[in-house]
């Protein structure tokens, strides 16, 4: 209703203006090619306005006709661009869905319609890589290296290709180039760091970790743990050849993680070998109270070099009360008692843990007690038979590998800080199915830090 009222008011205004122009007094004389005209002033103005409008209309038509070819070309380019963008989007979907052949065809179509779009070529390279066409993928990636905007993505693709072809040296070359090009590149930093860890180049690895600038509390804690693990690895490596340097590294690790058992054991062994028994004992007591780790108790018993088995049992009694409050304490006490031929103390230490809480270690110790005290082979075999079906004891384990001692790197995956003190899975157990996030970047996988 408002629009109608405005249209009527506007029409009336235009009509009134035209009437006013026509009714203006006076005349205007025009001579053109011997013709003379003397219209009234208002009529002349009206004619001039109409003539101007006609000229504008004719020029618009002429301009439209002249510009028709370029307009058609512009529409064709727009249509090709829209088709290229659609092909590129469909190629991404196809590659994500696992149809690499369709993704490559669509990426080629997108490249044909979008010659300047580097994403189309990058997507085609990814599809070639998924199809196993390494030569074509390498050609695309090398072509993208000359562009600053795509060089990092091209290096990521070349790195992944080299890994799939089992060429670790070439993969590291590409990762290092990417890291030099972009020091904040997550995948390149992870790749170089993992390579340093695998090769046990600890000084370079810890330098990379020290250069990190974490912002969140979780990131800071992860950095401290990685520093502590690397320092412990350096201590472990130098313990035999350079004990003083090893001690310094171990103490550095303990300043970062005060209850880190592997570092504490190394530091305690070095203190003990240097005759610093009180320091070693103090450190082991603190670690034992904080973690209850059996290795700390065993080393505490042997902290005095040359001590007899009876002295070791007495020393262990300083930190473990009778009856022992937990299975780890009971097993440590029983081990020391067996070595001292104190069968009564050994049995008393284990008696609360031979029922439903019995493990393979407890059963094996009971077998030693039966055979050592009474020479009863039958009962010893009975306990060993029970050990076959009993739950396992915690050990250092990583990626299904069990180790007698802590190691800084998994021998299977080369992952840092993979070993955890826990009960290993038996063959009948299955790990839980991994829950993946909605989108997982291909090249930005961060190393998983254990908490054990």
**By C-alpha distance, which of 69, 115, 72, 122 is closest to 92?**
122
Percent of the chain whose predicted confidence (pLDDT) is above 70: 89
Q: Tell me the pLDDT band of 445, cut-offs 50, 70 and 90.
A: very low
Choice among 46-50, 100-104, 129-133, 323-327 with the minimum mean pLDDT: 46-50
> Is residue 147 predicted with pLDDT exceeding 80?
no
When mean pLDDT is compared over 36-40, 175-179, 366-370, the highest value belongs to 366-370
- Is residue 273 within 8 Å of residue 288, measured between CB atoms? no
Q: At what angle do helices 41-66 and 2-22 cross, to 10 degrees?
A: 120
- Is residue 184 within 8 Å of residue 213, measured between CB atoms? no
- Is residue 277 within 8 Å of residue 312, measured between CB atoms? no
Higher pLDDT: 175 or 368? It is 368
The topology under which CATH files domain 75-144 is 1.25.40
- Is residue 337 within 8 Å of residue 310, measured between CB atoms? no
Task: Give the model confidence (pLDDT) of 53-108 as tens digits.
Answer: 888 888 888 888 887 788 787 887 788 888 888 888 888 888 888 888 888 888 88
Give the Cα separation of 229 and 222 in Å (integer). Answer: 11
The topology under which CATH files domain 214-396 is 1.25.40
SS3 at position 188: helix
pLDDT at 23: 67
* Residue 137 main-chain phi, psi, to 5 deg: -60, -45
* Residue 30 main-chain phi, psi, to 5 deg: -125, 130
Distances (CA, A) of 59 to 45, 52, 63, 292, 346: 21, 11, 6, 95, 112
Q: Tell me the pLDDT band of 343, cut-offs 50, 70 and 90.
A: very high
Mean pLDDT for the stretch of residues 2-24: 76
Domains 75-144 and 214-396 share a fold: yes
Task: Give the model confidence (pLDDT) of 19-58 as tens digits.
Answer: 766 666 667 676 666 677 666 666 777 777 788 888 888 8
pLDDT at 346: 92
Average pLDDT, the chain: 83
According to DSSP, residue 432 is labeled P
Residue ranges per domain, the chain? 75-144, 161-213, 214-396
- Is residue 128 within 8 Å of residue 97, measured between CB atoms? no
Task: Give the model confidence (pLDDT) of 394-442 as tens digits.
Answer: 999 998 889 989 999 998 888 899 999 999 875 444 444 443 333 334 4
Task: Give the model confidence (pLDDT) of 263-314 as tens digits.
Answer: 999 999 999 999 999 999 999 999 999 999 999 999 999 988 888 999 999 9
SS3 at position 32: strand
Rounded to two decimals, the pTM is: 0.69
Mean pLDDT for the stretch of residues 163-191: 80
């Amino acid at each position: 209703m408002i629009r109608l009222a405005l249209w009527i008011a506007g029409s009336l205004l235009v009509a009134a203006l035209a009437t006013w122009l026509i009714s203006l007094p006076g005349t205007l004389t025009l001579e053109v090619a011997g013709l003379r005209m003397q219209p009234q002033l208002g009529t002349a103005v009206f004619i001039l306005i109409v003539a101007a409008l006609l000229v504008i209309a004719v020029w618009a038509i002429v301009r439209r006709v002249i510009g028709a070819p370029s307009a058609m070309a512009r529409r064709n380019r727009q249509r090709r661009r829209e088709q290229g963008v659609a092909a590129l989007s469909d190629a991404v979907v196809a590659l994500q869905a696992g149809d690499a052949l369709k993704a490559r065809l669509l990426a080629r179509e997108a490249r044909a319609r979008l010659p300047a779009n580097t994403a189309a070529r990058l997507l085609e390279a990814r599809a070639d890589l998924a199809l196993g066409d390494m030569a074509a993928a390498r050609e695309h990636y090398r072509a993208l290296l000359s562009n600053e905007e795509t060089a990092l993505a091209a290096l990521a693709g070349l790195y992944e290709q080299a890994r799939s072809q089992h060429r670790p040296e070439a993969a590291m070359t590409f990762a290092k180039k990417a890291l030099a090009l972009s020091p904040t590149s997550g995948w390149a930093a992870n790749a170089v760091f993992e390579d340093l860890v695998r090769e046990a180049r600890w000084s370079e690895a810890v330098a990379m970790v020290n250069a990190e600038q974490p912002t969140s509390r979780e990131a800071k804690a992860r950095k401290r743990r990685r520093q502590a693990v690397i320092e412990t690895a350096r201590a472990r490596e130098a313990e035999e050849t350079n004990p003083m340097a090893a001690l310094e590294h171990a103490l550095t690790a303990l300043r970062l993680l005060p209850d880190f058992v592997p570092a504490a054991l190394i530091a305690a062994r070095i203190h003990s070998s240097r005759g610093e028994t009180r320091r070693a004992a103090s450190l082991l007591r603190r670690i034992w109270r904080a973690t209850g780790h059996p290795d700390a108790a065993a080393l505490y018993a042997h902290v005095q070099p040359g001590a007899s088995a009876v002295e070791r049992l007495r020393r262990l009694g300083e930190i473990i009360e009778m009856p022992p409050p937990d299975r780890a304490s009971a097993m440590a006490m029983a081990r020391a008692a067996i070595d001292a031929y104190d069968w009564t103390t050994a049995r008393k230490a284990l008696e609360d843990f031979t029922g439903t809480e019995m493990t393979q270690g407890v059963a094996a110790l009971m077998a030693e007690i039966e055979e050592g005290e009474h020479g009863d082979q039958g009962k010893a075999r009975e306990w060993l038979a029970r050990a076959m079906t009993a739950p396992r004891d915690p050990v250092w384990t990583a990626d299904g590998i069990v180790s007698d001692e802590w190691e800084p790197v998994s021998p299977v995956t080369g992952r840092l800080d993979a070993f955890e003190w826990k009960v290993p899975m038996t063959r009948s157990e299955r790990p839980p199915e991994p829950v993946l996030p909605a989108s997982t970047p291909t090249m930005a996988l961060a190393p998983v830090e254990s908490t054990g």
